[in-house]
Chains A and B, each alone.
Chain A
Amino acid sequence: MNQRLITPLGAILAFILIAVFLMPSPAAGQVKLGTNALSVAPAAAKPWTVTKTPDGQPDLQGYWTNNTMAPLQRPKGVTKEFYTKEEFFEALKKQAELDGEEATPGTVEDVHYDHSQFGLDRTQGLLTPNFRTSMIIEPPDGRIPPMTAEGQKRAADLAAERKKQGAQYDQAQNLPFVTRCIYMGAVPMLPPAYNNTYQIVQSPGYVMILIEELHEARVIPMDGRPHAPQNVRSWLGDSRGHWEGNTLVIETTNFNDKVAFQGSSRDVKVTERLTRTGEATMKYEFTVDDPHTWTQPWKAEMPAIKTDGPIFEHACNEGNYSMGNMLRAARVEEKRAAEAAAKKGTE
């Protein structure tokens, strides 16, 4: 919801600055930071003890965001693990300008794609103090490991299959799942550019994580039960949770064939770890393990910070006018082209 507020860039930068310096840093004392800004944050204040829910679980409840400028993979040419404060703000400014000028000013596209105008770009939301150059921390080069031969073959087969179905605008089914309001990513919880708000509610035996985007409610059993049968597959997979100390560990399997997270197979296993590090901070880590796709597992890490509620209803399919408009436009263009060709033929 913060994303919906249109705020001048300056105010945002000021806010992040405050967030970076005043918030108990999740990384202080735990992560090697070199000379970046986080290392000069108030020397690890007093130790924070995680509060407990009435039934004694570590309390992760509240509204959270993990909105970050850090890309999943480290950009080519970047070798360091962390940006300096100066580099971070420089990159932020550049991104904000880019988001504001995604399309040529004064054109029809500009009205639709001016993300800054509608508060849809990352820089207008509450950003976490994350100076990492990539979310991925393993392998150490910050990039997804090479694909196995099996993974490459599957990717090629999928591309060939898609080609057979025609061009992107030929039918609804050829458009991306995100455009179709079917799946926008939920396991692992990579922050989307907007609506990157999560609400955690705990009851005895369950942790529920409500993801604002596409109103995905992950109800995670904590009672040690086995996974659902192998043939019960879904977009969000089948999650089981347990506590390791104060860390919530969620293991998810049983994905369907279509999710293919970063090209994964249906048998990928995603393990997420959520550790509260302060009153308003949390560490979010996930490991992706799929021997059918990659030569080794890979791991990412990012901070999450508390944000304001409430979570809005993201009725995506219900208000998906773009789908009809895009397909209709494609049909109109085809008709015009056919008419022009017919006219040319009669001349």
Chain B
Amino acid sequence: MRNRYRNMIAGFAALSVLLAVIVTSTPCHAQAQAQPYRTPRTKDGKPDLNGIWQAVNSANWDIEGHGAAPGPFWQLGAEFSVPPGLGVVEGGPIPYKPEALQIKKENFADRMNRDPEIKCYLPGVPRAMYMPYPFQIIMSPEYIMMVFEYAGAVRTVYMNHKDAPADSWMGWSNGHWEGEALVVDAADFNELSWFDRAGNFHSDALHVVERFTAADKDHLNYEATIEDPKVFTRPWKIRMPLYRIVEKNAQILEDKCVEFSEEVLYGKLRKVPLK
């Protein structure tokens, strides 16, 4: 009896040692999850981010947290109202300089005249990445193309650094790999694009550093550090997942919105006003 008891204790001790060894020496389930996902590789050995992707959030309405709100025309009722969102900005409000915050507020108040999306203008970066339209990543060793449905916008990411020939709406993107992450340094923007429909804006000093990292086969983690000393007091970050469009035969369709914005742009110059 006593021996049996002793044996039991010895058995328990052995078992707990064994368990401890197992726990500390082999990756348990929880630790395995903490290991970064290893992205399948392209034929030239780079993380394969090819695919059609889309953000599923309401950052295009306002990158900061916001409640639901009515749309601009009462006739449309629930259609075209503003969907609520928790926001994609990390760590509190966007650090605007006081005078820039004033401009942001004026932008929102006058958005029917100022929002570049209404005019079908190119969306800029990072806005292109979270507009409610899909985009496709097409990877080759030298160039990574991002083709957006909205307005047929395009980004070329140069994997062999090239200097920008001029400022532009979509800016100039140079990329490199840091382990699993595609890091894109985007600059040389003009001052004309916005971050969202809420009037959040930047100047031509905008500098965006983005990281695209696969979380698993159907999700990318996207984060962007935004720097613009003319408008913000310090760099700040946005972060969101991008979801793979998994439908069979999905494709980027054409959304040439220029035609839809002509009346906004040139309607007041008509010979005969629209009734």
Binding site for B on A (CB under 8 A): 1, 53-55, 61, 166-167, 169-173, 180-183, 199, 201-206, 208, 210, 214-217, 219, 221, 225-226, 228, 232, 234-236, 310-313, 315, 317-318, 323-324, 327-328, 330-331, 334
In the complex, per-residue mask of B141-174: 1 if CB is within 8 Å of any chain A CB, else 0: 1110101000011101010001001101110000
- Beta-carbon nearest neighbor of B271 in chain A: A170
Among B42, B136, B258, the residue within 8 A (CB) of A181 is B258
Query: Is there an interface contact between A310 and B165, defined as CB atoms closer than 8 Å?
Result: yes
Main secondary structure of the interface of B (DSSP, over half): loop
**Docked pose: A282 CA to B67 CA in angstroms:** 56
Of chain B, the residue at the smallest CB distance from A223 is: B249
Are the CB atoms of A313 and B258 closer together than 8 Å? Answer: no
- CB < 8 Å neighbour of B269 from A214, A226, A310, A324: A324
A219 touches B266 (CB 8 A): no
State whether B122 touches A171 (Cβ < 8 A).
no
Are A203 and B253 CB-contacts (below 8 A) given A171-B271, A208-B147, A318-B169?
Answer: no
- Bin chain B's interface residue count: 35 or more
B215 interface contact, C-beta 8 A:
no
A209 to chain B, nearest CB (A): 10
30 CB-based A-B contacts, threshold 8 Å: A53-B140, A54-B42, A61-B142, A166-B271, A166-B272, A167-B271, A170-B271, A172-B266, A180-B259, A183-B256, A199-B156, A201-B138, A201-B143, A208-B147, A217-B145, A217-B152, A217-B154, A219-B251, A225-B249, A235-B256, A311-B156, A312-B168, A315-B121, A317-B119, A324-B265, A324-B269, A327-B269, A327-B270, A330-B271, A331-B271
When distances are taken between beta carbons in the complex, the residues of chain A under 8 Å from B272 are: 166, 170-171
Cβ A203 vs Cβ B269 within 8 A: no
The answer on a CB contact under 8 Å between B166 and A310 is no
Cα of A202 to Cα of B44 in the assembled complex, Å: 13
Residues from chain A with Cβ under 8 Å of B261 in the complex: 317
Bound Cα distance A3, B261 (Å): 30
Are A171 and B254 in contact (CB-based, < 8 A)?
Answer: no
Interchain CB contact under 8 A, B254 and A236: yes
A170 nearest CB neighbor, chain B only: B271
Q: Chain A residues with Cβ under 8 A from B262's Cβ?
A: 172-173, 180
| Interface pair A219/B170, CB less than 8 Å apart | no
Q: Give per-residue flags for B40-57: 1 if the beta carbon is below 8 A from chain A beta carbons, else 0.
A: 001110000010000000
Provide the residues of chain A in CB contact with B263, threshold 8 Å. 172
**B170 with A313: CB separation less than 8 A:** yes
Choice from A54, A208, A217, A235 contacting B43 with Cβ under 8 Å: A54
Min CB distance A102 to B, Å, is 26
Are B266 and A323 interface neighbours, CB within 8 A?
A: yes
**Cα–Cα distance between A323 and B122 once the two chains are bound (Å):** 18
Q: Is the CB of A317 within 8 A of B120?
A: yes
Known: A61-B140, A219-B136. A210 touches B154 (CB 8 A): yes
On chain A, the residues within 8 Å of B50 by CB distance are: 203-206
Q: Is the CB of A182 within 8 A of B258?
A: yes
A318:B122 contact, CB within 8 angstroms: yes
- A210/B259 in contact, CB under 8 A: no
A203 touches B147 (CB 8 A): no
A108 to chain B, nearest CB (A): 20
| A180 surroundings in chain B (CB, below 8 A) | 258-259, 262
Task: Decide if A313 touches B169 in the complex (CB within 8 Å).
Answer: yes
Distance in Å: Cβ of B154 to nearest Cβ of chain A: 5
Most chain-A Cβ atoms within 10 A of its Cβ — which of B44, B156, B253? B156
CB <8 Å contact, B271 and A334: yes
Whether B94 is near chain A, meaning CB under 8 Å from some CB there, is no
Which chain B residues (163-197) contact chain A, with CB distance < 8 Å? 165-166, 168-170, 192
